[in-house]
Structures are given as structure tokens and as C-alpha cells.
Structure 1
Amino acid sequence: MTRLFNDPAAFADEALEGFAAAHRRWVRPVTGGVVRAAATPAGQVAVVIGGGSGHYPAFSGLVGRGLAHGAAVGNVFASPSAQQIRSVARAAHGGAGVLLMYGNYAGDVLHFGQAAERLAADGVEARTYAVADDISSAAPDESAERRGIAGDLPVFKAAAAAAEQGRSLDEVLRVAERAGARTRSFGIAFSGCTLPGSDHPLFTVPEARMAVGLGIHGEPGIGEEALPTADDAARLLVETLLKELPEDVAAPDGQRAAVVLNGLGSVKYEELFVVYRKVAELLGEAGVEIVDPEVGELVTSFDMAGVSLTLTWLDEGLEALWRAPADTPAYRKGALGTPEPEDDERAPAEDARDTAVPPASDASREAAGTVLAALDAVAGIVEAHVEELGRIDAVAGDGDHGIGMRRGSTAARSAAAEARERGAGAGTVLHRAADAWADRAGGTSGALWGTILRSLGTALGDRDAPAAPRVAEGVTEASAAVRRLGGAEVGDKTMVDVLVPFADALTAATAEGVPLTEAWDRAADAATDAAAATARLLPRKGRARPHAEKSLGTPDAGAHSLALITRAVHGALLNHH
């Protein structure tokens, strides 16, 4: 239970502010996260890590010499936005490029990928690497689909230590890839976590049972077993990991491994030590030599009661990097000598937000009023259904869809209102709303809704009154852009299952010459039917994928929220017709 908070929506920002204030020796705050207190040495690759809040000491607690140069921090269980990542990376950049590292989740993949593109446009060379160590989340032949959990630490550590040695960006990336290919994790839990402001956990485990193969965002496990003794838990963790060795490790006997026994929030250190004594014994019996083990809370999930075990199978090079010293707020190893002086000069500031708006016609400024009304209706319908959206999402996911949609839609409405007050046309109002939604919401839905609004804004522009065919064209482009960005297609149980039929129905109706309000009404009906039909589908994308069967009978949260929004926007169109 998360007990101490103010406004739940401000929790992540306030936690980061407090963290930075408490650890000025190591970090300084920048827009989107934190960077090292001292500037990155000239010519050194900057390793920038990141992800959602709720996992401390990941990610901000791992910023410091010998480890990350910066961390981009998103909202609770939501990836940071591309703009936040870009801001942190620019502040951390030392002139030799940036390696962006994160766990393998759809939202992180989208936002870090977009950030790399923006950095390249800024003249900053950037690479990305997603850690995918959780063996419970996908089969060995689909290892690229696996989640990143506590294996983040040894993989981040290897890349950062390589950067400290002065290696090139491509060499640092190869080290990350090598460490990632040799890292495996597996976890168990005894209770779920509770988000700030919520009165119930994201999932529950029956009395005297444990969930097996859980995620770190409140995703339920892939199965349940009887509550074990500490020794039995250790045996399950070790035996499961020893069944899947890296391709170039023939047998555990004679191998050296970095070992991380990680507490997920409520399992305390004494309990972890009881488990670790058996882990060490079992690995020793299997012929594994343990190198610099770590036992503690390293990648958490608020108050989740659970543990995970990570093995990184070392070669000579990886062992040297694992043993290399580090000095961060939450992770320290060895000695680094004289501390670097704090850098009083701030890194180059990110580009100031341009508050000026481009010129617009009277017709487009008038249409901007309808756009603002529609965005107000969107925020209203999301607020009315925020709990329902979270409940649907928690069936097989992490339960944060409602929270993320609330943050995004509220920010979009505010940004749109500000732009309209400055005389913006419909296209610019939608562009400002798109940026605000993506930046504030983070996560997969933040990236996709930012794409939807931006595509629609580009189609409408600021010159002409938006005719019905132009609106349909914008929605069709949004549908195509979401599929390109997210990689989902109809049938994957995502918002695409609603967006495609909605766009098709709207295009067909406007082609018949039907007025926009009536055409939108028809399309909203198609969206509602399509959203309901997702209850019969198995998810093939996103965090729900490892728990596909659990979602049968429940519609996809993103599809459901999109259908609700299309109907709410129709009401706004009627009122402004």
C-alpha cells in the first residue's frame, strides 16, 4: 500500500524532486530526469537509462560514476516521453554519442526510438538497446519479445563501465548486446503492488499461494503454485534459470556468473539473505562460481512482495566490467579515487518551447474552437471512466491505462486551450495537444495518441475550414501512422482493432457526401462494435501478451478507451455544428 502522497498525478514528479534534493553529491535535475552532478568527460560515450517511476533504485538511483550518465524518468509505470529522453540525453552528452538503454516494453521502445531520431536531427549520434531478460515472458525462440526486469542492472553496468574505459559508441553498444545475450531472470511474488491513490492492488495472490513469472509493473504471473519455504523458492529460481543457458554456455559447471537476488519492494533484506544462502549453495553444487553477488532491492515495483533471480554468465571481458567500481546514490562498488568536482555550469539547455503560433485563417481559428471542445469532451469521458479503464487493463496488464489516459488527455486539453488563446488554427492546436499528451502520459498510449493528434493536425492545417473528407483523411493517416509506429495490425487486440474500422467507416461515409457529424456518428458505432469484439481476441502485442488467456472475455483497454472517445467527440461535434 502506497500511503504517503499528495496528488497521485504529481507523485512521480515530487518523488524525483525529492530524490534529486537528497542526492546532490551524485545528481542534478534536468527536464525529464537527472544527470550526473559533474558533466560527462569530453569524448566519453554517455549511457542514458530510463523507464517509469515506481522501480527505485531503477532508474534514477543508478546515475553516477561507473554507471549511468543520466536517467529519464516517466510517470508511474509509464515510459518517459521522447522529449524527456532527448532532454536528459542532451544534458548528458559529452561529445562522443549517447547509448539509450531501457527495459523491453512497447512504450519504452517507441519513446526511446523517437528520442534517438530527434537526437540524430540535433547532431547527436545515438544508439538504443532494450534489455530483455525475463524468461517467463516469452519462449527462447521469441527472446526478443521478453520483458526487461532486474537484468537491467548487470547490462546497464557493463555498458557504462565500457563507456568509462573510453570505448566508442559502437563498442559500448556491442558490450550491451553481449551482456544482454548472457543475462536471464525469473521472478515470483506473493502479493501485488498498489499505485498511489488506489485502494486495491493491481493483482492479488490467494492465501498460501505464490504467482510465478511476474512482471515489474504489476503484471500478474503466468501461473500459481503453493507458497514455498525459502529453500523451495531458491530451488525454483535456480533450477528454472539453469534450464535455459545462453547458446555459448554448454553447461553451468565451470562457469562464472554475476548473481542478483532482487527484492521487489516488500520482501526485506533478512528474508532475501535466507533465500540467498540456498541460492549460493545450489549454484555451487551445479559448478557455478559466483562473482560479486548483489542481494537487495535493485529493481522494485512499489510494495510488491516478491523476489527475482538474475544470472549474467560472464566471460573475461564482462567479468572485468561487472567488477569495475561505481559510485551512485543506490549502487556502490570498489573505489574510484578522488571525486569529480561538481559542475556549476549547466549543460546546454534544451530548446526553449516556442510559444508563438503560426498564422491561421479565420476559418481555421473558428475550427480550433470545435477542436478544443472535442478535446474537452475527450478529457471528460476519460475522467468518467478512469477506474474502469484501469480495471480492464489490470486483467492481463499493469492497470495504468486509465491513469495514463487521464494525464494525457488533461495535458492535451490545457495545451490546446493555451494555443487557441494565442490565436492558433486547428492544426496547430492539435499539434500542441499531441506534444502535451505524449509528454505527460508517456507509455505506449502516450506515444500513439500523440501520433493520432499530430496526424490529424497535419491534415487539417491552419489555412482552411476542415471539410469532412479532410478530417477523414487525417484519421486514415493517423491509423496508418499508429500501425507503423506500434507494429500492431487488426487482430492483435490493441487500439488498432478500433482505429482501422473507425477510419474506414468515416472515409466511406464522407465519400458518400454525408455531413461530418453524421459520418462521425456512423464511424463511432463501428468503433463501439469493434471494441466489444476485442473481448474475443488474444493479445499478440504489449504487456498483456504473456497473459493472453486471462484477457479472453475482456475488451482491450486501449480499444475500449478509443471507442469511448469517438462517441464523446461526436457529442462535441453536434454541439458545435
Structure 2
Amino acid sequence: MTRLFNDPAAFADEALEGFVAAHPHRVRQVPGGVVRATRTAPGQVAVVVGGGSGHYPAFSGLVGQGLAHGAAVGNVFASPSAHQVRQVAKAAQTGGGVLLAYGNYAGDVLHFGQAAEQLTAEGIPARTLGVTDDISSASAAEAHKRRGVAGDLVVFKAAAAAAEAGHDLAEVTRIAELANARTRSFGVAFSGCTLPGADHPLFTVPEDRMAVGLGIHGEPGMGEQPVPSADEAAELLVSTVLGELPEGVDSPRGQRAAVILNGLGSVKYEELFVVYRRVAQLLHEAGVEAVDPEVGELVTSFDMAGVSLTLCWLTDELEPLWTAPADAPAYRKGTVEAADLISEGPAEQAVEEPVPAATEESRAAARTVLAALRTLKSTVDTHADELGRIDAVAGDGDHGIGMQRGSTGAYEAAVRAEQLGAGAETLLHRAADAWADKAGGTSGALWGVILRAIGTALGDTGRPTAPVVAAGVAEAAAGVMRLGGAEVGDKTMVDVLVPFAGALTTATADGQPLSIAWDTAASTAAAAAAATADLLPRMGRARPHAEKSLGTPDAGAHSLALIVRAVHPVLAPTLEIR
């Protein structure tokens, strides 16, 4: 378990601060993460990687010459927000465009995708690549759904070396895609990880058993087997990875491969070397030549006791990129020609944007919205542990923590906006941005969409009517489906948001005042949330563990139903509007 921390909510920020202080000649901190402390050639493609904290050396430890140009760093096990990714990318880029590379998790896909669209709109060409090396998380036929694990390193390294060689954005992206297509990983775990401040791990494994096919966010494995000897573990890892060869590789014999034996946090180096001894023998027997193998902690999961094996089947094009020199805080290979350090000027002071003008009617509505956000935060705080337990059944167990971060950030931003005289739209927009930044992950992105859509409908002028509020909720539902790609029946928050929006729209169209319409819609939401217990997840981190979730409601759907019910009393006395 994580023993040394202060405030668990500040753990990721404080860890990043200490990391930068320890490596001032290789990285510098910028809003949203870190970038190289050394100069990059003008016009070079910037490879910006990222993901949640809790995986060191990934992702911040892989920033440096020959490797990433920057890393966007999210909270613990939560993707960075689109805003954070964009800030890091803008700080890292030098005119050649940006490749955003990350593990293929729903939250990362949403946030990095949004950031790429925003960067391109601002005149900075951007491409994205989600690494999909984990063969246990989806079938070969659905390889695009696989998650990224230790194969991240191979893909990041190939892309960065290609950028250093002067290739343009299209070519760097092509090379990264090639490396990803030829990389396979598989892992096992003997115990789960415990997040800072938590008193129990995200999952447990029975004594004398091990989980097979694990993720790196505390997700339970795809199955269990008896704990093997070191040689037996090596045989399982090698046979599984060799069991799925990429297109163009007919047989392992005669192939050259980049090999990574990765420790996930609590399996120590000597143990890894014992396992690698047998891995090396088995690969040799199969006719595979290991090129510059790496044995150690490269993509971790806090204190998870586990190990994974990664093979990238090299080509004449990929091999020199894998063996090229690099100098990052946590990964060094060969010798790089040291670049000049960036001489920073005085730090710019953050300037708070003034709020747009608002009418008194809208400011009154903003005060009601603020009260609703206060109630929302209180509700999440009360139920955070419950939400975590529900999420841990088939996911990574961090939904309650993420909702706490997001709702707290949103409420604090809303308080400040109300003090500045903001109307309802501006208050909700600032709350939306804060929620996405503080929570990260899928829920952070989607709650940002929800608050922003409702704010846009309310506006900063006039007194909102019940149909206007309903229209905002309906647009929120549509926005969540557009961004997340989920539909009703996928076992997500959409299964509650859509029927809630529909019931609210119908009731307000019939002339019911908002408080009565909201009460009706909240009851619909509660029933819809309970019904998700009978669904199998088709999206997100719970999808690989679909059968385990039967009988348990979706955590995001459940939290949404709790929230819409809790805020009803706030609406009743103050918004008897039609």
C-alpha cells in the first residue's frame, strides 16, 4: 500500500513537483505536466505522451532527449484533461506539429482526441495514437479495443526517435502506428494495488492464486490460476505472447524483437531477473533474437505485485529507432549529444479572466446553480466509498475518488465565479472546465460536457424557464453520446442520462413547473440506474470483465441518479418556473 503521502487528493501534484525538483536538467514543469528542459530543434515533431499518475516511470519519467518531448499528467489513474494535454503540447511543440500518444483507455481517448481537435483548430497540426498492446483485453478481431500497457514504451520510443531523425508528422505517426501494430503484451498479478489514502486494494487475489490478463489501473485479471514457479510464469508469458503473431510474421523463428519484462510495482528486480532468465531461454529456443531487452519497472501500477512481458517484432525500420540513444529521467540508452538547457524568463502570473456581464435574473439563477453544485458535492462525498466499491466489481474502483475530485473542483470554481458576479452560463462553464481538469478520466470529460451544455442553455441573461433547463439537459445527453460514443444499453451513465432528459422534457412540455418535472425525472433516473444491474458493459474499463458486473449497477449511472435526486430540494423552493 502507499504509505507516504499528505493529503491523498494532492498526491499526484506533490509527486510531480518532487519529480521535477529531482530532475531539473531533464524536465521542467508546465501547466498540465512536464516538457523537456532542453532545447528542441525548430520544426521537429513533438511527441507528447500521457495518462494518469500512479504508473511511474510512465509517463513523466519518459520525457527527455530521444524520448518524449512532453507528458500530460493526470490525477491518480485518471487521464489528464483536454485542457492539460493542450497546454503541455503547446509548451512542447516547436512548429512541426504534435503526435499525442497514450494508452487506449476511454478517458484518454476522449481527452487526447479533444486536445488534438483544439490544437489543429489553433493552427498546430496534431495526430493521436492510442497504444493497444494488451492481448488479454480484447480479441485479435477487435484489437482496436485493446488497452495500452508496457508496450507504451516501445511505441513512444519509436515515434520519438523518428521525430529526432527529422521525419514529418505524417511519417512519425506512420512509424508509431507500425510499432503499435507489431507489439504484444501479456501480464499476471499476485495482488492488487492500494491508492493513496485507501485502506484496501482495488482488487484481491486468493492466496496461492494469481490473476492473469491484468490491466495497469487496478482492474482485476481476466481469470485466475495457481501461483506458478518463476519458470512456470515465464513459460505462461512467453507462450501467450508467441501465440499471437502480428501480420507479416509467419513464425517466430529468425525474428528479432524488442523485449520488455516489466515489473508492476512490488515484484523486485532480482525476481524479475529470475523470470527473465527463463524468458531468454524460451525465446532463444523459439528462434527469436532479443534486441536490447529491458528488465525492470517501466509501466507500473503503484504497489501491484505483477509482471508483464512485451514483444515488439522489429523491422529493419523499427530496430534502429528502438536502439537509438535516449536520455530521460527514468530511461537512458546510449549517449545523446546534450542539448542546451532552456533559460526560462520570469514566471508569468496567471491572470483571471473577467466574467462577462450578466443580468440580475441570471445572477440569481447562478446562485441557485451554486447551491445545486454544493449539494452535488456533498452527495458525492457521502457516497464516494460506495461508488468505489461498485466500480471495483469490474473496473478499477476509482469512480468515487474521481467524482470527488471533479465535484470539489467544480464547486470551488463556481464559488469564485459567483463572487465575481457571473451569470448562470459563465458559472457553469467555469465549473465544467474545473471538473474536467480535476477529475480527468472519462467521467471528468463527460461531466464537463453536461455542465457546459446546461450552462449554454441557461445563458447569462434572463430568467431560465423550465423548458430551457430541459433543453439544456437534453443537449447534455446528446453531447455525452457524441463524445463518448455510448448508447442506451451499453451500461454507462447514458442509461440514466437519456431517460432522465426525456422525462424532464416531456414533463416541462406539459407545463409542469421545474421542481415537479425534476422530481418525476429523478424517479425515472433511479429506476434506470437500478436496471443497469442487468446489463453487460460494452464500453470502458469494465468491458473486459463484463460477466463480473452482472447484478451490480453501473457506477456512473448510479452516481448520476443519486445526484439528480439530491439536487431536487434545492430547485423546489427557488425555481418554481414554467
Q: TM-score, normalised by structure 1?
A: 0.99
Gaps of 5+ in 2: none
Superposed CA RMSD in Å reads 1.1
Alpha-carbon distance between aligned partners in 1 of 2:353 and 2:408, rounded to the nearest angstrom: 19
Are positions 1:491 and 2:489 aligned together? yes
Match of residue 344 from structure 2 = 345
**Offset of residue 346 of structure 1:** 5.7
Could you say which residue in structure 1 is the equivalent of 2:94?
A: 94
Distance 1:426 1:336 in 2: 54
* 2:84 paired residue number: 84
* Partner residue, 1:114: 114
In the other structure, the counterpart of 1:202 is 202
Cα pair 1:91 1:347 within 8 Å, conserved: no
Kindly tell me: are residues 195 and 125 of structure 1, through their superposed partners in 2, closer, same or farther at Cα, counting changes over 3 Å?
same
2:129 aligned partner, one-letter code = Y
Mapped partners of 1:575, 1:391: distance in 2: 34
Number of aligned pairs?
A: 575
In the other structure, the counterpart of 1:220 is 220
**1:405 counterpart residue number:** 403
The alpha carbon displacement at 1:348 in A equals: 11
SS of corresponding position for 1:389: helix
The question of whether the paired residues in 1 share the 8 Å contact of 2:99 and 2:129 is answered with: yes
**Match in the other structure for 1:482:** 480
How far apart in 2 are the matches of 1:369 and 1:71?
A: 38
SS in 2 for 1:71: strand
Q: Distance in 2 between matches of 1:348 and 1:167?
A: 33
**Which one-letter code corresponds to 1:254 in the other structure?**
G
The worse-fitting range, judged by mean Cα deviation, of 117-126 and 551-560 is 117-126
Residues 372 and 17 of structure 1: CA distance in aligned 2, closer, same or farther (over 3 Å): same
Q: Which residue of 2 aligns with 1:294?
A: 294
Give the whole-Å Cα distance in 2 for the aligned partners of 1:286 and 1:389.
47
Post-superposition shift, 1:89?
0.5
Superposed CA deviations along residues 139-167 of structure 1, whole A, max 9, x for unmatched, are 00000000000000001000000000010
Distance 1:349 1:536, change over 3 A: farther
CA distance in 1 between partners of 2:574 and 2:409 (Å): 22
| Sequence identity (%) | 74
Moved over 6 A (4+): 347-350
Q: Provide, for residues 212-254 of structure 1, a one-character-per-residue CA deviation record: whole Å limited to 9, x for no partner.
A: 0000000000000000000000000000011100011001011
Whether the 8 Å contact between 1:61 and 1:330 is mirrored in structure 2 is yes
Q: Are the counterparts in 2 of residues 45 and 96 from structure 1 also a CA contact under 8 Å?
A: yes
Q: Encode CA deviations 1:419-457: one digit per residue, 9 max, x unaligned.
A: 111111111111110011001110000000000000000
Give the 5 Å matches for 1:394-473: 394-473=392-471
Please give the residue correspondences for 1:509-520 in structure 2 after superposition, counting only pairs within 5 Å.
Answer: 509-520=507-518
Distance in 2, Cα, partners of 1:38 & 1:571:
55
Rounded to whole Å, the distance in 1 between the matches of 2:464 and 2:416 is: 21
| 1:48 lines up with 2:72 in the alignment | no
Separation of aligned partners in 2, 1:501 and 1:40: 51
- Structure 1, 510-519 or 32-41: larger mean CA deviation: 32-41
Indicate conservation of the 8 Å contact 1:91/1:348, yes or no.
no
Distance in 1 separating the partners of 2:163 and 2:346: 19
Query: Residue in 1 aligned with 2:246?
Result: 246
Q: Which residue is equivalent to 2:60?
A: 60
Tell me if structure 1 keeps the 8 A contact 2:477–2:497.
yes
Aligned residue type for 2:262: N
Describe the shift of the 1:73–1:63 C-alpha distance in structure 2 as closer, same or farther (beyond 3 A).
Answer: same
Give 1:298 shift. 0.2
Letter in 2 for 1:485: L
Instruction: Please give the secondary structure, in 1, of the residue aligned with 2:317.
Output: helix
**What secondary structure, in the 3-state scheme, does the structure 1 residue paired with 2:292 have?**
strand
The aligned residue for residue 181 of structure 1 is: 181
TM-score (norm 2): 0.98
2:198 counterpart SS class: coil
Cα distance in structure 2, aligned partners of 1:353 and 1:124: 24
Task: Give 3-state SS (helix, strand or coil) of 1:478's partner.
Answer: helix
Paired residue type of 2:7:
D
Cα distance change, pair 348–83 in 1 and its aligned pair in 2 (3 A): farther
Which segment drifts farther, 341-350 or 414-423?
341-350
1:28 maps to 28
CA contact (8 A) 1:193 1:201 kept: yes
Q: What are the superposed Cα offsets for residues 42-71 of structure 1, whole Å, 9 maximum, x if unpaired?
A: 011110000000000000000000000000
CA distance in structure 2 between the aligned counterparts of 1:345 and 1:45, rounded to whole angstroms: 22
What is residue 163 of structure 2 aligned with on the other side?
Answer: 163
Measure the CA separation in 1 of the matches of 2:486 and 2:336: 46
Who is 1:573 aligned against? 571
Q: Distance in 2 between matches of 1:347 and 1:34?
A: 18
1:304-342 CA-partner distances (Å, limit 9, x unpaired): 0000000000000100100000001000001113x1121
Q: Is the 8 A contact 2:39 2:339 kept in 1?
A: no
Task: Specify the SS of the correspondent of 2:136.
Answer: helix
How far apart, CA to CA, are the structure 2 residues paired with 1:27 and 1:433?
31
3-state SS of 1:471 partner: helix
Q: Does 1:306 align with 2:306?
A: yes
Give the letter aligned to residue 244 of structure 1: E
Asked if the contact 1:506–1:519 (Cα under 8 Å) also holds between the matched residues in 2, the reply is: yes
Indicate the residue corresponding to 1:139 in structure 2.
139
User: Which residue number in structure 1 is paired with residue 552 of structure 2?
Assistant: 554
Distance in 1, matches of 2:305 and 2:346, equals: 40
CA separation in 2, counterparts of 1:282 and 1:154? Answer: 21
1:249-328 equivalence runs, <5 A: 249-328=249-328
**Residue type of the partner of 2:515?**
T
Partner SS for 1:130: strand
Distance 1:116 1:247, change over 3 A: same
In structure 1, what is the equivalent of residue 103 of structure 2? 103
